[in-house]
Amino acid sequence: MERVYSTPRLDKLGVRPGARVALVDLRDEQFEAELGDRTGDITRGEPAADTDVVFLAADDHRALERLATLRPRIRPAGSIWVVSRKGKAATLRDVDVIAAARSAGLVDNKVASFDADRTALRLVIPVALRPRP
């Protein structure tokens, strides 16, 4: 019998129990149900202040312009996951997301498969720019 190892999606994406999560332009009932089981603090649309994790659906350059307004809404150690189509259906390249992130004062530090059709790139505030406690 062959073993299949699979990390749960929310673990790959770093969503901890009780995390404050925001979904921006992302509509996915299954994902929302997973989040609901892990955390009860989910915002749809504009993130609340001090959000831990933002999921931004982006399939064009215009969607990436939101990064500059989302950055101040996350905690210093928070993250923004840009979720976009992958493979032949992709309308954004990772270099497009990385360039938009840098323009917004963010850096990329992880990529993960979001589902069969989409990929996710994690963006964070650089450690050197985070406020010191």
pLDDT tens, 112-126? 999 999 999 999 999
Look up residue 64 and give its amino acid: L
pTM of the model as a whole: 0.94
d(CA 18, CA 40): 7
| Residue-range domains of the chain with CATH | 9-126 (3.40.50.150)
Q: What angle do CA 19, 25, 119 make, to 5 degrees?
A: 75
Q: Is 102 helix (H, G, I), strand (E, B) or coil?
A: helix
First to last CA, the chain: 51
Q: What angle do CA 114, 115, 118 make, to 5 degrees?
A: 70
Scanning the chain, the segments in alpha helix (DSSP H) are 9-12, 29-38, 61-64, 67-70, 94-103
The stretch 22-30 carries a mean pLDDT of 97
pLDDT tens, 62-90? 999 999 999 999 999 999 999 999 999 99
| CB-neighbour burial class of residue 47 (10 A; exposed 0-12, middle 13-18, buried 19+) | buried
